[in-house]
Amino acid sequence: MRSDYLKTDELAKNQQWYLVDADGYTLGRLATRIASILRGKNKPYFAPHQDTGDFVVVVNAEKIRVTGKKEEKKEYFRHSGYPGGGQLIPYKRMMEKHPERIIENAVRLMLPKNALGRKTFKKLKVYAGPEHPHQAQNPKTISFK
């Protein structure tokens, strides 16, 4: 084994916690940056087959913006698992009831569709308001502007 590769337990020690305030950001542009941090693409030892990413806490999800006419036209698909159980939920209703799911959905679709992607997605924590329960991890505030 090459000595420049980090072992899995060493990767877990190198994980950081980041805090992102979604106020004023555009949905897709923010989601791409978050997905990149979750996968670990911002690190020099990134490997697509290893979990090298960091934890990301997103606050103020209710203040995210979308461009164009997406507020009126964008819809989210949900299925109950039963025949004929599909539903289309408009963006406005999703923003009223569950604004955190909008960011979660955008980021989840940018991650790999495999076991590593599902594990990576669990490191994303999204909250509608400015409060979050992750103060003990001392998250570093980052801004993408």
Residue 44 near residue 81 (C-beta atoms within 8 A)? no
Q: Look-up: residue for tokens 């805090």? A: 19
pLDDT tens digit sequence for 33-61: 999 999 999 999 899 999 999 999 999 99
Cα distance between residue 5 and residue 12, in whole Å: 14
Question: 86 forms bridges with which residues in the sheet?
Answer: 79
Compute CA 140 distance to the chain's CA centroid, rounded to the nearest angstrom: 16
pTM: 0.90
pLDDT confidence bin for 5, thresholds 50/70/90: low
> In the chain, where does DSSP find H-type helix?
8-13, 27-39, 70-73, 91-97, 99-108, 115-121
Q: Look-up: residue for tokens 């604004």? A: 99
pLDDT tens digit sequence for 66-108: 999 999 999 999 999 999 999 999 999 999 999 999 999 999 9
Q: What are phi and psi of 11, to 5 degrees?
A: -65, -40
* Domains parsed from the chain with CATH numbers: 15-67+101-142 (3.90.1180.10)
Q: Look-up: residue for tokens 């990134």? A: 46
Compute CA 86 distance to the chain's CA centroid, rounded to the nearest angstrom: 24
